[in-house]
């Protein structure tokens, strides 16, 4: 995924222009609704200067009795104008909310598609807190502020222009004073706006940190309690929380400072207007009605100017959030240059001179690995932690792409096979079972197999030795498993994963420490289910407990990324090498 450093994203106008184009390119898909909303916004804006214009005839002619029908006409006009403003304001707000939510729907859909398409390496490098913030906060900011900008800019600009026309009509001399003061006020506000953008970037980063700390507190609550980590986690949270408070106060102070400064410039302009108006009135060039209408219009013009000033800070929040959102949207998906569809593979796997070094590492994690696994054969990969077992297996589904060498299935390089076809050949049962929030049936028939019949699901559960347990539940197959199946035991979760692998019926099976976290009784139950799952399949077993691999057709011993021994259990014990040493060590521990 692309780099996200704040320094790199502090770009000049061309980047801002590109962000504007992309934001409103998405919003513009709903141009019909926006056009109707803008018409309603214009109608709402037109009512505001009209109220000021009514003031002049009301004072000059209404209070003198020159036009008696003003007694009912002007009150009706005021009520009518307010009614028109209310209806048009509601209509425009509803339409723009519809546009914002549909745009948000599309952005989040694209973000999630990119998220699912990220490579395994990108997931490892990603900041989970920042990823979550993009969905929950940044995407919402982009769409909400985008429609707010349309509403405020169009409506308040129209109001300001219309009121300026009224002011010029009433007195161009007084209007000139206003036009001199307004630019000074706008420039002062722009200084604070630049500061707000910097603060907004820092706030987004710290929000991601807050999400991470809270998530770790939830997921690790048992470890925190058992290892007395309350004080440490509290101090981490307090630090992040205090940082967010400081950023919020900086933003609040910058935001709040704009109002009194604007009010100061308003006071200066109003004082100057009053002085000039009194001079003109004393010389008979300005009527009381004209002055009242001018002041009514002047009193109304500062509120839209203030809103236009404040919308600039919202624009900065929108642009900052858009940078974060489009970083994910623009991230490169996992490469899939394969063109071959294998159909159903026989299951022959070959590692041909495979070497791999992770980015930034000093040494290879795999070095010149050559190994052939025949169809239906069970091969166990054993060795010390960090010897490269999992990395080697991860080259098969292309979670890891070797730096050198080839991985072949049925004599076809995995890079030439489409990812969909390649991964359809594989089933995985690992120590860390991932189950989704849904029913037992949903999890067993997960993914492309979601149309599996209840009979197929029950048969898979029976083979996994879990059907009696499921039938004992009040809702049977429709029993919700909860978040990550926290209500199930470790052995039950493992057997659910085995049932899921059984129903997929892939020709190649990967077992990654599938029983290492279980007690002896659960291990025996799960191992019996695994034996049924392995029957007739090419199986790669990553094992820590060597007692579980004694029946393997071939045991491959890895050390520091190299194959140091291979053979059957009895042969390796007789050689008295690393495998024998590891086996005796575990035997003593047992």
Residue indicated by tokens 């513009």:
28
Average pLDDT estimate for 450-475: 82
pLDDT in tens, 466-493: 888 888 888 888 888 776 666 777 778 8
Give 462: exposed, middle or buried? Use CB within 10 Å, 0-12, 13-18, 19+.
Answer: middle
Confidence of residue 10 (pLDDT cuts 50, 70, 90): very low
Contacts of 357 (CB under 8 A, 6+ apart): 363, 364, 365, 403
557: left (phi over 0), alpha (psi -120 to 50) or beta: beta
Residue 517: predicted pLDDT: 54
314: left (phi over 0), alpha (psi -120 to 50) or beta: alpha
Please report the DSSP string for 348-396 in residue order: -EEEEEEEE--TT-SS-SEEEEEEEE-TT-EEEEEESTTSSHHHHHHTT
Do residues 111 and 191 make contact, with C-beta atoms less than 8 angstroms apart?
Answer: no
C-alpha to C-alpha distance for 126 and 223, rounded to whole angstroms: 24
Q: How many CB atoms lie under 10 A from the CB of residue 78? A: 15
Q: Which of 278, 365, 301 is nearest to 561 (CA)?
A: 365
φ/ψ (deg, to 5) at 28: -65, -10
Confidence of residue 3 (pLDDT cuts 50, 70, 90): very low
Confidence of residue 352 (pLDDT cuts 50, 70, 90): very high
Q: 489 in helix, strand or coil? A: coil
Q: What is the 3 state secondary structure string of 45-96?
A: HHHHHHHHHHHHHHHHHHCCCCCCCHHHHHHHHHHHHHHHHHHHHHHHHHHH
497/548: higher pLDDT: 497
Could you tell me the two tokens for 51? 């109220």
193/316: higher pLDDT: 316
pLDDT in tens, 330-344: 888 888 888 898 888
416/295: higher pLDDT: 416
Confidence of residue 500 (pLDDT cuts 50, 70, 90): confident
Q: Which of 476, 340, 346 is nearest to 413 (CA)?
A: 340
Contacts of 94 (CB under 8 A, 6+ apart): none
Helix or strand holding residue 567 (H, E):
strand 562-567
Q: What is the CA radius of gyration of the chain?
A: 35
241/360: higher pLDDT: 241
Residue 64: predicted pLDDT: 59
300-309, 327-336, 393-402, 419-428: which has the minimum mean pLDDT? 300-309
292/417: higher pLDDT: 417
379: left (phi over 0), alpha (psi -120 to 50) or beta: beta
φ/ψ (deg, to 5) at 452: -60, 140
Residue indicated by tokens 């070095």:
367
C-alpha to C-alpha distance for 309 and 192, rounded to whole angstroms: 10
pLDDT in tens, 107-129: 888 888 888 888 777 777 777 77
C-alpha to C-alpha distance for 5 and 445, rounded to whole angstroms: 41
What is the edge-to-edge ordering of all strands in the sheet holding 366-373? 366-373, 349-356, 404-409, 412-413
Do residues 470 and 461 make contact, with C-beta atoms less than 8 angstroms apart?
Answer: yes
Average pLDDT estimate for 237-244: 86
Q: Is the pLDDT confidence value at 41 over 70?
A: yes
Average pLDDT estimate for 530-546: 83
Q: How many CB atoms lie under 10 A from the CB of residue 193? A: 19
Pairing of strands 508-512, 349-356: unpaired
Confidence of residue 408 (pLDDT cuts 50, 70, 90): very high
φ/ψ (deg, to 5) at 560: 55, 40
C-alpha to C-alpha distance for 111 and 113, rounded to whole angstroms: 5
Torsion angle (degrees, nearest 10) of CA 162, 164, 169, 171: 160
How many residues in total does the chain contain? 590
Q: Is the pLDDT confidence value at 355 over 60?
A: yes
Mean pLDDT (the chain, rounded): 79
Q: Is the pLDDT confidence value at 146 over 70?
A: yes
13/99: higher pLDDT: 99
Q: Is the pLDDT confidence value at 77 over 50?
A: yes
The reported pTM is 0.67
104-113, 181-190, 421-430: which has the minimum mean pLDDT? 181-190
C-alpha to C-alpha distance for 558 and 178, rounded to whole angstroms: 81
Residue 14: predicted pLDDT: 46
Residue 386: predicted pLDDT: 83
Q: Which of 461, 455, 466 is nearest to 488 (CA)?
A: 466
Q: 452 in helix, strand or coil? A: coil
Sign, Cα dihedral of 187, 190, 195, 196: positive
The strand pairing partners of 407, in sequence order, are: 351
Do residues 429 and 463 make contact, with C-beta atoms less than 8 angstroms apart?
Answer: no
Q: In Å, how far from its chain's centre is CA 514?
A: 31
C-alpha to C-alpha distance for 482 and 35, rounded to whole angstroms: 46
Is the CATH code 1.20.1560.10 the one for domain 12-329? Answer: yes
Residue 152: predicted pLDDT: 81
How do the domains of the chain map onto residue ranges?
12-329
Q: Where are the alpha helices (DSSP H) in 220-283?
A: 221-226, 230-282
The strand pairing partners of 313, in sequence order, are: none
């Amino acid at each position: 995924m692309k780099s996200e450093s704040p320094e790199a994203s502090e770009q000049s106008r061309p980047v801002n222009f590109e962000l504007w184009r992309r934001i409103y390119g998405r919003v513009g898909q709903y141009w019909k609704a926006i056009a109707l909303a803008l018409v309603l916004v214009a109608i709402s804006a037109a009512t505001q200067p009209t109220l000021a214009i009514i003031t002049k005839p009301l004072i000059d002619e209404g209070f003198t009795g020159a036009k008696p029908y003003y007694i009912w006409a002007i009150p009706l006009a005021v009520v009518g104008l307010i009614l028109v403003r209310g209806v048009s304001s509601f209509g425009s707000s509803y339409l723009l909310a519809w546009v914002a939510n549909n745009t948000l729907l599309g952005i989040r859909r694209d973000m999630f598609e990119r998220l699912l398409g990220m490579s395994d390496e990108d997931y490892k490098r990603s900041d989970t807190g920042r990823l979550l913030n993009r969905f929950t906060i940044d995407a919402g900011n982009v769409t909400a502020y985008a429609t707010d900008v349309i509403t405020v800019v169009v409506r308040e600009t129209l109001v300001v222009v219309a009121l300026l026309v009224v002011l010029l009509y009433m007195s161009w001399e007084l209007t000139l004073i206003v036009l001199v003061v307004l630019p000074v006020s706008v420039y002062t506000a722009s200084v604070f706006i630049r500061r707000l953008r910097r603060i907004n970037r820092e706030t987004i980063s710290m929000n991601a940190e807050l999400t991470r700390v809270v998530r770790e507190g939830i997921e690790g609550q048992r470890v925190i309690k058992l290892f007395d980590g309350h004080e440490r986690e509290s101090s981490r949270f307090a630090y992040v929380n205090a940082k967010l408070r400081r950023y919020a106060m900086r933003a609040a102070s910058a935001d709040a400072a704009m109002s009194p400064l604007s009010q100061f410039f308003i006071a200066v302009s109003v004082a100057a207007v009053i002085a000039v108006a009194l001079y003109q009135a004393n010389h008979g060039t300005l009527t009381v009605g004209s002055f009242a209408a001018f002041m009514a219009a002047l009193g109304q013009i500062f509120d839209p100017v203030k809103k236009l000033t404040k919308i600039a800070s919202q624009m900065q929040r929108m642009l900052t959030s858009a940078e974060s959102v489009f970083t994910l949207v623009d991230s490169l998906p996992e490469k899939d240059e394969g063109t071959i569809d294998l159909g159903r593979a026989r299951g022959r796997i070959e590692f041909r001179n495979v070497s791999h070094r992770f980015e930034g590492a000093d040494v290879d994690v795999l070095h010149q690995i050559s190994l052939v696994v025949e169809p239906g054969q069970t091969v166990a990969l054993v060795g010390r932690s960090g010897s490269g077992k999992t990395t080697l297996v991860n080259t098969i589904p292309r979670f890891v792409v070797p730096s050198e060498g080839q991985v072949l299935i049925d004599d076809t390089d995995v890079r030439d096979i489409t990812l969909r076809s390649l991964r359809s050949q594989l089933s995985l049962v690992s120590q860390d079972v991932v189950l989704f929030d849904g029913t037992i049936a949903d999890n067993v028939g997960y993914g492309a197999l979601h149309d599996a019949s209840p009979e197929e699901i029950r048969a898979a559960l029976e083979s996994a030795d879990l059907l009696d347990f499921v039938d004992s539940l009040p809702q049977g197959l429709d029993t919700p498993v909860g978040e990550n199946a926290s209500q199930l035991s470790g052995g039950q979760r493992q057997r659910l994963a085995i049932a899921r692998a059984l129903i997929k019926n892939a020709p190649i099976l990967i077992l990654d420490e599938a029983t290492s976290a279980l007690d002896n009784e659960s291990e025996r139950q799960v191992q019996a289910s695994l034996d049924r799952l392995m029957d007739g399949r090419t199986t790669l077993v990553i094992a820590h407990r060597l007692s579980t691999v004694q029946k393997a057709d071939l045991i491959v011993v890895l050390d520091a990324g190299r194959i140091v021994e291979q053979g059957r259990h009895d042969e390796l014990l007789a050689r008295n090498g690393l495998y024998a040493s590891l086996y005796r060590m575990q035997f003593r521990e047992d």
